Amino acid sequence: MGNSSTKSHPKSSDSKMKTSYIRRAHHAGSWYDDDPRELDDMLSKFLADASENKSSSDAYETESTTDSENNGVPNVRRAGVPRACISPHAGYQYSGPTAAYSFLALKEALLSNPLLETVIVLHPSHHVYLDGCALSGAKELHTPLRNLQVGDELREQLLSTGKFTTMKQGVDEREHSGEMQYPFIAKVINDLEQNMSEHDNVTVKVLPIMIGSIKRAKEEAFGKLLSSFLSDQRIFTVISSDFCHWGERFSYTPHPSRDTNVSLNEVHEYIEYLDRKGMDLIAMQRPGAFADYLREYSNTICGRHPIAVWLNAVATNKEEGKEMLDVRFVKYAQSGKAVTTKDSSVSYASAVARLFSRDS
């Protein structure tokens, strides 16, 4: 289960910091196995199980959520290339089986899009206060499976806007929400390279972006700023987030008995109800409605700011006619079935965003 964290207020970033370190796999050996063979076996099983268990509803040729553009009539959307995914970031024993569904999409994207060269990881900050967005200052990201090269050219482009800072090494390495994506990315690359000739390799780089605890106006501003980058066919986006953290240890214990709008009896059912209300708004790509939902229910979605920035980027690209996406949640799980207020639970969800075309 994801650990609760308290945020301190030290200086978390520096706009002039040198990018020369190799980011250590700080959580290897605790949140996931640090032995390469054991880790590879674990991720192989997660990915194989996810591939086997994908339901027909994930085929992306079914009726999608209705929208106002078509007078409430469902749209039929054709399968498209994966462009982004939402993935959880707890210890692999808890969230790994769910995260695997997201990284099947990355594997598909790499196979179907020869232009793809950078994976952007949008992740929250659990330990330091950040009123903005900061880029990793690393030149490489170490994982037990392989080192990942950081997209330094894209980083320089973002820094040149004057809107981003650079994480300090200690801040970068302490934050788990980005790190929990890196072994999965490394695994996908390794598996693809195994099926290539010995002279070929996958030259994909990674750029982690920490999204701070920013207000709605900044979520909109950073979304618009990132929109042209995230619509670039050379970029795939991973949004790192767990969903509801329920229990006294998280200071969040809404109960179905206190909500007159539902007829649920079990706490874990109510948690899923709360999560799915937010998931539906994400799938409908409605950043404003998602912000209103968070204000109304205060659901403890730790990646709410990365999700909101991404949703605003998606909305901007849709408005400008650059890119239209079909977003679907393909897996949902909870760390445990909460029954009483003494229980605790963290929710995990996997979503995939694909390019789509509407049938004529």
Per-position pLDDT tens, the chain of length 360: 544 444 544 455 554 455 589 999 999 999 999 999 999 999 999 999 999 987 534 444 333 333 444 443 334 455 599 999 999 999 999 999 999 999 999 999 999 999 999 999 999 999 998 999 999 999 999 999 999 999 999 999 999 999 999 999 999 999 999 999 999 999 999 999 998 766 577 889 999 999 999 999 999 999 999 999 999 999 999 999 999 999 999 999 998 877 777 778 899 999 999 999 999 999 999 999 999 999 999 999 999 999 999 999 999 999 999 999 999 999 999 999 999 888 999 999 999 999 975 543
Q: How does DSSP classify residue 91?
A: -
Helix 287-297 × helix 304-319 angle, to 10°: 150
Closest CA to 28 of 132, 113, 141: 141
Q: What is the spatial distance between Cα 280 and Cα 305, in angstroms, rounded to a whole number?
A: 17
Residues in CB range of 23: below 8 A, 6 or more apart: 136, 138, 140, 141, 142, 169, 172, 173
d(CA 84, CA 314): 10
Pairing of strands 138-142, 133-135: unpaired
What token pair was written down for 110? 């790499």
CATH assignment of 21-56+77-189+204-355?
3.40.830.10
pTM attached to this predicted model: 0.88
- At 285, phi and psi to the nearest 5? 60, 55
How far apart (Å, rounded) are the C-alpha atoms in residues 65 and 351? 14
Distance CA 71, CA 36 (A): 52
- Name the H helices within 298-351: 304-319
Domain ranges of the chain: 21-56+77-189+204-355
Q: Is 278 helix (H, G, I), strand (E, B) or coil?
A: helix
Paired strand residues for 207 = 120
